[in-house]
Structures are given as C-alpha cells and as structure tokens.
C-alpha cells in the first residue's frame, strides 16, 4: 500500500510540474526536440545510434543562462524554448531533476515479506531504478566567470563550478574523472588530450540502471537470426520472455511494445519497422501513439536481442542547421557568463546503453566547450531486424534516451544486475552506498561498501 501511495504522489507531482504557461508546454517542447535532434544525428550516422536529448537540452540550458541578445535568441530557437524566460526553463529543469532522481527511502518494513535484510534491499533495488544527473562547469585557470552566473548555476542546476588547467594532462584527467564517476564508469572519459583553447567547459551527465518489471530468463536466451537492412543475416543472442503483458500498438510503419522497469516509473519502448528492409524515420507522433496510456495491453512471447551501443557525436553542424550560427563565432554575446569574449567552440555527446536479461544500464555526457576570442491472445513479437527504441520516464513524460539498433555487436555484459553493487571508484578506504555514491562516513544504520566488501550496521 505504501508503495502504491508513493507512486500516486509522484504522478500528482508530475502533473503539477507539467502545467506550464506559454505557447506550448515545455513537456511537449522537450519531447519534440528529442526527435528533431535524434533524426539530425541519425541522418549523419549510418550505424546504430544512442543519444540523450534530455542531456543536450540541459547542457544548452546552462549555456543559455550566460547569453544575451541574438545569441540567446539563437539558442532558445534551436532547443525550442523561445516562448519562455530563463527563469521558467531553469525552474522546469530543476523540478525535472528532482522528479527523475526521486526514489522513496529504503525501509525494511516495506519489503519484510522478502525475509532477510539482503533480499529486502535487493527487492527495493529491483522496484526502483536508479536515475542520476549531474552538471559541471569548469573555467580555465585564471579565467573569470561572473559571480552571478556561478551562483545561478549552483542554485538552479546544483552545478559544481571550479577552475582547471585545460592545457595540462592533469586538467584533462580532472574532467574525465568527473565523467567516469558520474556515469559509474560506463563512460570512462570524454576528453582526449590537453587543449589550451578551452576557456569554459560545461557538462551534463546522466546515469540509468533499472531491472525489467518482468525479467527475461537467462536459460531461454539462445542464438537466433537477425536480419540486416541489406538483406544479409547475422546470429545474435536473443532473449526470450514467455507470456509477458505489455502495452502494444501497430501502425503502417511500426509494431511497438513498451517494457516497464521496476514498478513502472520508467520504461523502454521498442519500435520495430513493419517491413524488414525499410527503416522509416521515427517521429514524435509515432512515440506519442506508442506511449499512450490507453494503448492496448497484449500478452506476448517476446524475443529481444541483447545489445550494447556506444557512440560519440559532434553536434556543431547539427545545431548550426537548427539556427545557431552567431554562437560559434566572434559575434557571440555571453556577457551574462563572463566579460572574456566567449563563443562556443564545440558541442558533443558520448552515450552508451547495455541491455540484457536483467535490465538496462545507460549513461550519456553532453559537453559544451567554450573558447574566448572574437535522443489478448498470446502472440509472438520477434525483434529480428533493425529497430528504434526510447527510454522514457512515465512520471514526467521525459525522453531520456533514444536510439536506433542497426546491427547487433558483442553481447552486452552490463549491467551485472542490481544484485551486484555498481563498480566502486578506485579509492577503497572510503565508504559508498549500494549505488556507488561516496559517503562522508559509514551510515548509522544500513548497508555500505568499503574495501570492496559489504558491511551492515
């Protein structure tokens, strides 16, 4: 009963946050931007793609707060927020972060039916997926950021603001260390080498780890055929779930199934093209129809390949095509961020997703580099040819990840499962909770990790 009340409360909170004044709700704007950005990236990439439009939206929202005049107008036009002031966008992003990362506090009494403390904690983790988001802003050593901008980033985006020497390996390792920590080592690095041209770097990192509401059975996974667009075939590790009930739709373009994680706050929707050798463009309208709460629920024998995708995408040309031109040159005006004559030098994102029998682990990091100068009856649903997928939060209706799987690569070995603690940072003497978050000291009561071992107080 407690769990049910918690979910209802979250849904009511989500409805309050989504009620926005303006030409179009920010919820809808963010959803549409997800497909605009994804289809631009997919147009340039002929291979599998995984993208977090939400991460890109947040990163550019942070940049937007430092812009004025036409520079600000260009950014808002590109990400769709022209009808809103910075304060409204900041408040929306802040509420989204709170809702997306919200998990009820663990209470053994809620899961005492599991028996032991360890099994109760395991059930809690299965019910409530982990979603984390973090923001960072770094300025080159000696480069001044305005105090007002730093204060705004700290209050609205819970952003770490620091100085770093981008021209040294130590500085690059500082950024990469932050990325690795915030993505639980799923993305170990984002920068390759020292670069004196970087004056300011802004980053958003996302991390998701969730168990399927109905897991696939390991023993049923077997080698099956996956059909490629060019007509060729390949063998893949195909997972199988028997008598699985899920929301499903059919159109002239796609057959879809929506697979929930945990208690259903998050889900993955699979868009399987009706024709094997035709990959139609995935649109906002396709997603809206597939994720409609009133879509019929069907019972399937479901076959889904284990898969893993990772990629790094340069987005400068994409955002130029969306109307951001001035921001990349000497005419840019970021005078709300600094007096140093900033312009955007690069925008890129790294993403990774791993899907296996237990669930899904995914991470993305978006970076904006700034220089100074001038995402019924039992039937069979077999995902045996290229497909799209989205990973959404059903409380806020936010598309967190979006992708296209063209060719199945190596089997995904991650996540190891919620049963196993997420890999710890290299320092072993410190204490960590079961999600890998550093603790200042061991909790007064509960389970924590030290020296790679579980401890119970």
Give residue-wise pLDDT tens across range 115-125. 899 999 999 99
In whole angstroms, how far apart are CA 39 and each of 212, 407, 440? 27, 18, 43
Give φ, ψ of 353 to 5 degrees: -140, 140
Cβ-proximal residues to 285 (8 Å cutoff; 6+ apart), any chain: none
pLDDT score, position 8: 40
pLDDT score, position 97: 96
pLDDT score, position 439: 54
Weakest mean pLDDT among 189-193, 231-235, 286-290, 437-441: 437-441
Tell me how far apart the alpha carbons of residues 430 and 449 are, in angstroms, rounded to a whole number: 8
Strand order in the sheet with 431-432: 438-439, 431-432, 447-450, 453-456
Q: For residue 144, what pLDDT band results from cuts at 50, 70 and 90?
A: confident
pLDDT at 413 over 70: no
Phi-psi region of 285 (alpha: psi -120 to 50; beta: other; left: phi over 0): alpha
Contact 137, 159 (CB under 8 A): yes
**pLDDT tens-digit map of 312-370:** 999 999 999 999 999 998 889 999 999 878 999 999 999 999 999 999 999 999 999 99
Tell me how far apart the alpha carbons of residues 49 and 353 are, in angstroms, rounded to a whole number: 10
Weakest mean pLDDT among 75-79, 128-132, 168-172, 438-442: 438-442
SS3 391: strand
Weakest mean pLDDT among 189-193, 208-212, 425-429: 425-429
Q: For residue 62, what pLDDT band results from cuts at 50, 70 and 90?
A: very high
Nearest to 259 by CA among 207, 208, 303: 303
pLDDT at 19 over 60: no
Q: Which residue has the higher pLDDT, 127 or 7?
A: 127
SS3 annotation, 232-291: CEEEEEEEEEEEEEEEEEECCCEEEEEEEECCCCEEEEEEEECCCCCCCCCCHHHHHHHC
Nearest to 135 by CA among 123, 153, 119: 153
Q: For residue 247, what pLDDT band results from cuts at 50, 70 and 90?
A: very high
Q: In whole numbers, what is the pLDDT of the chain averaged over residues?
A: 85
pTM for the whole structure:
0.81
**pLDDT tens-digit map of 26-40:** 999 999 999 999 999
Tell me how far apart the alpha carbons of residues 353 and 306 are, in angstroms, rounded to a whole number: 11
Tell me how far apart the alpha carbons of residues 374 and 196 are, in angstroms, rounded to a whole number: 16
SS3 338: coil
pLDDT at 198 over 90: yes
Give φ, ψ of 112 to 5 degrees: -60, -20
CA angle 25-29-35, nearest 5°? Answer: 150
Cβ-based neighbour number of residue 9 at 10 Å: 12
Q: For residue 242, what pLDDT band results from cuts at 50, 70 and 90?
A: confident
pLDDT score, position 457: 57
Contact 56, 37 (CB under 8 A): yes
pLDDT score, position 446: 62
**pLDDT tens-digit map of 368-401:** 999 985 434 457 788 888 888 999 999 889 998 9
In whole angstroms, how far apart are CA 81 and each of 57, 133, 134, 410? 10, 21, 22, 39
Where b means 16+ CB within 10 Å and e means fewer, 312-339 reads: ebebbebbeebebbbbbeeebbbbbbbe
pLDDT score, position 230: 87
pLDDT score, position 420: 34
Compute the average pLDDT of residues 252-264.
95
Compute the average pLDDT of residues 65-83.
95
Rg (CA), the chain: 22
């Amino acid at each position: 009963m407690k769990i049910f009340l918690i979910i209802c409360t979250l849904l009511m909170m989500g409805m309050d946050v989504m009620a926005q004044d303006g030409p179009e709700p920010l919820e809808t704007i963010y959803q549409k931007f997800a497909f605009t950005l994804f289809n631009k990236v997919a147009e340039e990439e002929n291979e599998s793609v995984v993208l977090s439009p939400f991460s890109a939206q947040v990163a550019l929202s942070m940049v937007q707060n430092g812009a004025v005049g036409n520079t600000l107008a260009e950014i808002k036009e590109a990400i769709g927020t022209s009808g809103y002031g910075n304060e409204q966008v900041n408040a929306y992003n802040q509420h989204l972060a709170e809702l997306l990362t919200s998990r009820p506090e663990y209470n053994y009494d809620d899961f005492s039916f599991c028996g032991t403390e360890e099994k109760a904690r395991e059930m809690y983790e299965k019910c409530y997926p982990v979603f984390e988001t973090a923001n960072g802003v770094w300025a080159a050593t000696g480069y001044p950021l305005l105090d007002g901008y730093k204060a705004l980033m700290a209050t609205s985006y819970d952003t770490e603001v620091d100085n770093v020497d981008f021209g040294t390996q130590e500085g690059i390792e500082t950024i990469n260390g932050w990325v690795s920590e915030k993505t639980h080592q799923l993305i170990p690095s984002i920068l390759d080498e020292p670069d004196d041209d970087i004056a300011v770097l802004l980053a958003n990192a996302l991390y998701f780890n969730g168990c399927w509401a109905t897991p696939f059975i390991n023993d049923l996974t077997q080698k099956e055929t996956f059909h490629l667009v060019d007509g060729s075939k390949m063998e893949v590790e195909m997972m199988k779930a028997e008598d699985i009930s899920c929301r499903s739709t059919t159109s002239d373009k796609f057959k879809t199934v929506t697979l929930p994680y945990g208690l259903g706050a998050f889900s993955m929707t699979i868009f399987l093209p009706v024709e094997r050798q035709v990959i139609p463009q995935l649109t906002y309208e396709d997603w809206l129809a597939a994720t409609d709460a009133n879509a019929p629920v069907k019972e399937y024998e479901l076959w889904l390949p284990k898969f893993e995708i990772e990629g790094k995408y340069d987005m400068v040309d994409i955002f130029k095509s969306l109307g951001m031109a001035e921001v990349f040159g000497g005419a840019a005006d970021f005078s709300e961020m600094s007096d140093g004559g900033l312009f955007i030098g690069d925008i890129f994102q790294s993403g990774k997703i791993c899907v296996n029998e237990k669930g899904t682990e995914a991470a993305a990091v978006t970076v904006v580099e700034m220089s100074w100068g001038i995402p019924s009856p039992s039937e069979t649903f077999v995902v045996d040819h290229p497909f799209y997928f989205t990973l959404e939060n059903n409380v806020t209706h936010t598309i967190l990840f979006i992708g296209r799987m063209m060719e199945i690569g190596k089997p995904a070995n991650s996540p190891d499962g919620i049963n196993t603690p997420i890999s710890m940072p290299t320092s072993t003497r410190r204490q960590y909770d079961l999600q890998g978050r550093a603790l200042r000291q061991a909790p007064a009561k509960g389970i924590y990790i030290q020296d790679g071992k579980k401890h119970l107080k």
